[in-house]
Structure 1
Amino acid sequence: EFPKLFKGTVNLELRAIVAQQSTKLNEMGATVEELKRENGERPKVAFSASLSESKGPNSDDVILAYKHVFNNIGEAYSPVTGIFRAPVNGVYYFTYTAFTTSSKGRRVSLYKNGLVMVTVTDDVSDSEDGGTNGVTLQLDAGDEVYTRLMEGFNIFDDNNHHSTFTGFLLFT
């Protein structure tokens, strides 16, 4: 059996350790609550849509309005205009797929505020092609991103959703 003095020392040391661990646990709990609050405050922005019908060829370039919306979290994409408008400053990722079954070819570009960022082009030597492109963009709130079908080209889509446009916020 431990001498009484040793028992008292062990008891004091254990109480000190318990108090120390209790303080650390409380600090970690406060950190978890702060992270939950911060995560809940972060904007959630994501959309994905398909054309649902073929377009072109046209005598002018046209913005493509992807009318079949799979999701539109944050309501930043307009299926009426085909334009995504950034609700907050941040880094976003966009991707689009353009499919054609025509000998007219396909050329679809993704724009940020009227400037071409990336393009998908078809080789007209065959009768059927699909192409995909994607880009990460730093946007300010209000910046616009959309795809545009170039003059004289076409794009195919139907209820199988071959031609799509997707974007989401990576971080602010």
Structure 2
Amino acid sequence: MSKIVGLIWVLVASFSIIEAQESSQGESIRRPPSIRGDVAFSVRKATEHLRAPSRLHFEDVLTNLGGGWKHSTSEFIAPLNGGYFFIFHAVSAERSSFQIDLMKNDRTQVTAYGTRGSYEHGSSSVFLELRKRDRIHLEIAEGEIYEHPRNEAYTTFSGFLVLNYD
């Protein structure tokens, strides 16, 4: 239990240190220097194949610190050895359930499930130890997800380095 509390403390501390480079008013915000490298990505809005079986592809890259997110293949490739935290969310199509798997080097690590009904939500998160060049992506294993036809985004995927082993 104390390891979990320690991990949560590390995550909270990480969020409090990492700030945007500019505020919405254009004022500079001080950001502490990185000791061993910043790695974080966040993508939104699933595109193309929204039915199983398929790899999820994303329209918008919101953040790509460290260059680990590869937009063309819709995958994260670890630029450093370390412990990474990942989280993802999706919404089921109106008359379908879904299962999305987070894959590490083509092996399922965790799963999110959204039930059949009226646009049900599913999400999952995980802390994984990765080696440099390990690959992380999302796959729709079953069913179908829904994505808004305009600018709203219901599918998101984010990850960041928590512990650097290099």
User: Shorter-chain TM-score: what band?
Assistant: 0.7 to 0.9
Query: Following the alignment from structure 1 to structure 2, what is the Cα–Cα distance between the partners of residues 156 and 87?
Result: 31
Name the amino acid aligned to 1:166. Answer: S
| Unmatched segments (≥5 aa) in structure 2 | 1-32
TM-score, normalised by the number of residues in structure 1:
0.70
SS at match of 1:128: coil
Aligned twin of 2:137: 146
Structure 1 residue 123 and structure 2 residue 130: aligned?
no
- Computed over aligned residues only, the root mean square deviation of the Cα atoms, in angstroms, reads 1.7
Of Structure 1 and Structure 2, the greater strand share is in 2
Aligned twin of 2:59: 67
Change in CA separation of 1:65 and 1:52 when aligned onto 2, cut-off 3 Å: closer
Structure 1 residue 98 and structure 2 residue 90: aligned?
yes
Name the amino acid aligned to 1:73. Answer: L
Q: Deviations over 1:33-62 (max 9, x none)?
A: xxxxxx64511100000125474324xx21
TM-score, normalised by the number of residues in structure 2:
0.72
Q: Deviations over 1:11-51 (max 9, x none)?
A: xxxxxxxxxxxxxxxxxxxxxxxxxxxx6451110000012
Check conservation: 1:107, 1:121, Cα contact below 8 A: yes
Check conservation: 2:101, 2:112, Cα contact below 8 A: yes
Structure 1 runs (4+) deviating above 6 angstroms are none
Residue of 146, 162, 165 corresponding to 1:170: 162
Query: Following the alignment from structure 1 to structure 2, what is the Cα–Cα distance between the partners of residues 155 and 131?
Result: 10
Query: Following the alignment from structure 1 to structure 2, what is the Cα–Cα distance between the partners of residues 53 and 142?
Result: 25
| Unmatched segments (≥5 aa) in structure 1 | 1-38
Q: Percent identity?
A: 28
Aligned twin of 2:68: 76
Aligned twin of 1:136: 127
Check conservation: 2:83, 2:130, Cα contact below 8 A: yes
Specify the structure having the higher radius of gyration (Cα).
1
Deviates more, 1:162-171 or 1:100-109: 100-109
Check conservation: 2:78, 2:132, Cα contact below 8 A: yes
Count of equivalent residues: 130
